[in-house]
Amino acid sequence: MVVLLLALQLAAGLWRITEPFTDGRFHYNWGPPFWLVSAKTTNELGIIRSFFGVVNGLDGTFYSSHPQLIGPLFALWTRAFGYDEWSPRLFSLTLTIATTLIFGLALAQIWGTKFGALSGALFAVFPIIYVFGKKLDQEPLVLFFIALTLLGGSVLLTGRRFPRRLLIASLVGMMLSDWSGFVFVVTIGGALVLMTRKSQKITDKKMLRTVVFAFCLGVTLVVGQSVLQHHGNVTETIREYKTLFLIRSATQSSTVTWATWLQAQYHYFQNNYTYQIVILATVGFVWSAWSARRQSIPPAERGLITLLGAVIAGQIIYSAAMRQASQIHEYFQYYFSLPFAFGIVWLVRRLADKTQVTKKLSTPAGIALIAVLVWHTANFYNDELKKMFGNASDVTLLRHIGATIPETADIRAVFDENTYTWFAHPNMRYYTGRKQISESPYWDVQTAPYLIVPRIDLRTVFAGIEEKQSACLPSPADATCSTNFCLLSFGV
């Protein structure tokens, strides 16, 4: 059953994985070209040198918004799988499938194989996991380490051994992967200490020492990396991250309010999970937490429920602290996925234990729930593709630019939200081998021999050109166009 589940998840994840620019996010820093350019530079200069900031300032090697464990890991991946567009997607998909397996194993240690397999299946078909789980970013890596921590907790709770190294690696891995990892180390680390208070085989002091050591090690590595990336300038490092925090927390924003933030979270819950799933999962998890509080379930179950509760707490704290980021990015709800999957299966199982009628209905109800989720996930994925800006023909135009226009030639893109950003680095670097292009306002379109304009505005641009009566005036028929853009040549 487990092998079949993982095979289905792999097959579904491989669908359309090789198509250009099917990542569903417009922000170019998170598309495959960004990670591929970064990985290539990292491999050329060496992972250690790149990771610790010696190459700060070179294109694609430094992403100051997050700790950078994902960078060297993906660079190692490309040594085996190359630099095609599907490579970062397959890397993230592999992380997601591994998370499914580890999460299922963690729950199976406590509640049995069937419970773990069903929880893994629900996790895999959540819309947010399918859509964003094969897009390379920090969230899948952090969730992978959270699942490893749950596995370590389940090993500890079943009384087999104290997985000190596994727990340290998982906690440090979270911190090296994203700023959210710092929050989860505090909440999950606190839960680990709490759940060992009544343990006869390990004291809470021993667990506390483990968590504190992991936290100090993670802080040392992240701070050391950040300072080195700023050439040892501590003041500059603090200033940059203070500015970053003020932006992401919306501390000085008048447009990101608690009301708009809550409204966004409400909308994202429907896209990422559906309201029905959120309600059922919440009921199930609250029921499990109440049972743990009343001590009506075994200690091992209470312990893992405590860890899952710490994941929910970390998710809420991080989203609320980073209001600006979590309001504009729906994937910030990524970490609810593990507790939600558990809550649903817990609810179904407890209802099935009530009466013979509910026991008979539990299996068809579970199948129907998964079917509804699959249907919603497919619709959500298609909607994301429709919102995506850029497609195969636009990539073809980029490659045409790289093949036909000298690298030294001046190319300008009409400055609007889509055109200039889509043709900016790293897309331009990855597809054409060129560095950054220049921007050009609509009223100054003839300052370069080549101009890229939105196809929808092609006639408007030509009208402006005709007013200037250029001697090298092209015609609309001379433009090389893709679905969304056109390339114009002026007297070339």
Per-residue pLDDT tens digits of the chain, which is 492 residues long: 677 888 888 888 888 787 765 554 444 445 788 888 888 888 888 877 777 655 544 444 455 677 878 888 999 999 999 998 889 999 999 999 999 999 999 999 999 998 999 999 999 999 999 888 888 888 999 999 999 999 999 999 888 788 899 999 999 999 999 999 999 999 999 999 988 876 555 667 888 999 999 999 999 988 888 887 777 778 888 888 888 888 888 887 778 889 999 999 999 999 899 898 999 999 999 999 999 888 888 988 999 999 999 999 999 999 999 999 899 888 899 999 999 999 999 998 888 877 666 667 767 777 777 778 888 888 887 777 666 656 778 888 888 888 888 888 888 877 666 676 677 667 778 888 776 666 665 545 555 678 888 887 777 666 666 555 554 555 555 678 888 888 888 765
Cα angle 389, 390, 392 (rounded to 5 degrees) comes to 150
Euclidean distance between CA atoms 412 and 415, whole angstroms: 9
Give the strands of the sheet with 411-414, arranged side by side.
438-440, 411-414, 450-454, 485-489, 480-481
Q: What is the largest CA-CA distance in the chain?
A: 88
Counted residue by residue, the chain has a size of 492
Query: Are 490 and 450 in contact, with CB atoms under 8 Å apart?
Result: yes
- The answer to whether the beta carbons of residues 384 and 330 sit under 8 Å apart is no
CA atoms 197, 200, 203, 206: torsion sign: negative
Question: pTM (2 decimals)?
Answer: 0.89
Ordered by start, the domain boundaries in the chain are: 2-386, 392-489
Q: How many CB atoms lie within 10 A of CB 264?
A: 19
Sequence-distant (≥ 6) Cβ neighbours of residue 457 within 8 angstroms: 414, 442
Nearest to 343 by CA among 311, 372, 380: 311
